[in-house]
Structure 1
Amino acid sequence: MHPIRLAGEPAHLHPAGALFLPARDTLLVADAHFGKAVSYRRLGVPVPEATTGATLDALSDAIAATAARRIVFLGDFLHSRRSHARETLAALQAWRDRHPSLDLLLVRGNHDARAGDPPASLGIEATDEPVRLGPFALCHHPDPVAGAYVLAGHWHPCTRIGGRAFDSLRLPCFWLGDDSGAQPQRAVGVLPAFGSFTGMHPIRRAPGDRVFAIADGVVRPLPGA
């Protein structure tokens, strides 16, 4: 994991795309989009299988690495109403049964509005944004909140890295706006999508932003970060 300071507190950036706040024993995960693949398959679109299992394995690895006691999902936990498929919910329940002591909170996002809250058996409290946690406002949408540093998802940020042979790669990234207080409108950090089957959108970096790309299982600060 890559350690940083954020809004005056320690934070760790996990290469799966999660952000850990050790002072709060809290792991933040954005845009898991569980059940996205099965949603597409039910529409007749050929897409990869076993994506839910891959995402849950990554989540378990992040829990083991951080010893987090709480997970806050920053929106878009389930992809759609079609995500309530038997096999998807069974995988989620089996994962939950392996982690019964975790405190789980969902800050609802735009996909949650359509998919509905997770089944009660998963023991996930669901609420609307923002959720205040110390200096942070936990949200799905990356919009400023007065007097807080926002941590959100929604955009699935990525950055483009160019090579000498005019080749380039798109890499998921943590996009952390200015946390100095000098630019309150920029006090927003966006986590990469955690789900293993999600798209990405390139960012437009502004002065004061810090960007941390994820490549080969390592979080790497980009120049200026």
Structure 2
Amino acid sequence: MSLDVDVPEGALARTLAGERVWLLPQRALWWPATGTVFVADVHLGKAATFRALGQPVPSGTTQDNLDRLSAVLEATRAARLVVLGDFLHAAAAQQARVLDPVHRWRERHAAVEVVLIRGNHDSRAGDPPASLRIRIEDEPHAMPPFAANHHPRTVAGAYALAGHLHPAVTLHGRAHERQRLACFCETPDLMILPAFGAFTGTTSAGMPADARCHAVGGGVVWAAPERT
């Protein structure tokens, strides 16, 4: 299934296991041959979980995440969305304040197949309600030539796509300033996606030693300088 869709501005083309994919500045990976968009670590309800603990964190992050998901689906005209784990943040997300906007978002994209690869936070939060019509799969989930994971691990006979790490790269300026940017991490047999959620944090720890980083910043995905 090949869709006649213009390449989104700022995207970076990569060829993985012989398949052309696009790394999008919206922190998503688009596989146009099958009409599939991959995202990782959405963490819906994370802010609500913190507020339930009495911590004064911003509201509105769930709707912001859903609006950005909608923008990616509409820009690519995706037929399928694959979430590489951690769709919901915690059991506290299983409340109407979080799930009502998710239901409205799902109705807006009723024709899109949604697949969730169960991640560590999903295991704690519990599966999304059946009314959301999200198919749940355990990792590794075969989507030849890819394997959809949550945890960044290689899979024999497939190119693995994963999340979990919330990867970032730190850039250093001439005046000793530093800037941390979310990034895609690519190795010969694994691509780790940046966290899609807006309230998730990032880290440069735990990335494979041979990872090539593609930074996300300024509405563009670009090859970051080699890590030291």
Q: Same fold (TM over 0.5)?
A: yes
Q: Which amino acid aligns with 1:82?
A: A
* 1:210 Cα deviation from its structure 2 partner: 2.5
**Mapping of residues 111-190 of structure 1, within 5 Å:** 111-178=121-188, 187-190=189-192
- 2:56 is the counterpart of 1:53: no
**Mapping of residues 85-100 of structure 1, within 5 Å:** 85-100=95-110
Q: 1:220 aligns with which of 213, 219, 222?
A: 222
Q: Which amino acid aligns with 1:11?
A: V
| Counterpart-to-counterpart distance in 1, 2:71 and 2:24 | 10
- Secondary structure class of the residue paired with 2:51: helix
* 1:223 Cα deviation from its structure 2 partner: 4.0
2:22 corresponds in structure 1 to: 12
Summarize the Cα distance change of 1:205–1:142 in structure 2 as closer, same or farther, 3 Å threshold: closer
* 1:162 Cα deviation from its structure 2 partner: 0.5
* 1:65 Cα deviation from its structure 2 partner: 1.8
Could you report, residue by residue, the CA deviation over 1:21-66 in whole angstroms, capped at 9, with x for unpaired residues?
1112110010000000000000011111100111111111111221
* 1:148 Cα deviation from its structure 2 partner: 1.0
- 2:209 is the counterpart of 1:206: yes
- Secondary structure class of the residue paired with 1:201: coil
2:198 corresponds in structure 1 to: 196
Q: 2:120 aligns with which of 110, 113, 127?
A: 110
Q: Which amino acid aligns with 1:200?
A: T
Tell me the TM-score normalised to structure 2 length: 0.91
Q: Which amino acid aligns with 1:213?
A: A
- Secondary structure class of the residue paired with 1:40: helix
- Secondary structure class of the residue paired with 1:79: coil
Moved more, 166-175 or 64-73: 64-73
Q: CA RMSD in A?
A: 1.4
Q: Which amino acid aligns with 2:138?
A: D
- Secondary structure class of the residue paired with 1:202: coil
What is the aligned length?
A: 216
- Secondary structure class of the residue paired with 1:89: helix
Q: Which amino acid aligns with 2:196?
A: F
- 2:40 is the counterpart of 1:30: yes
Identity of aligned residues (%): 48
| Counterpart-to-counterpart distance in 2, 1:84 and 1:148 | 34
* 1:205 Cα deviation from its structure 2 partner: 5.9
5+ unaligned residues in a row in structure 1: which ranges? 179-186
1:69 corresponds in structure 2 to: 79
Moved more, 193-202 or 59-68: 59-68
Does the 8 Å contact 1:38/1:85 carry over to 2?
no
Tell me the TM-score normalised to structure 1 length: 0.92
Summarize the Cα distance change of 1:83–1:54 in structure 2 as closer, same or farther, 3 Å threshold: same
| Counterpart-to-counterpart distance in 2, 1:210 and 1:201 | 15
Structure 1 segments, 4+ long, off by >4 Å, are none
| Counterpart-to-counterpart distance in 1, 2:96 and 2:154 | 38
Could you report, residue by residue, the CA deviation over 1:184-225 in whole angstroms, capped at 9, with x for unpaired residues?
xxx211000000110111155634x3211011221112246x
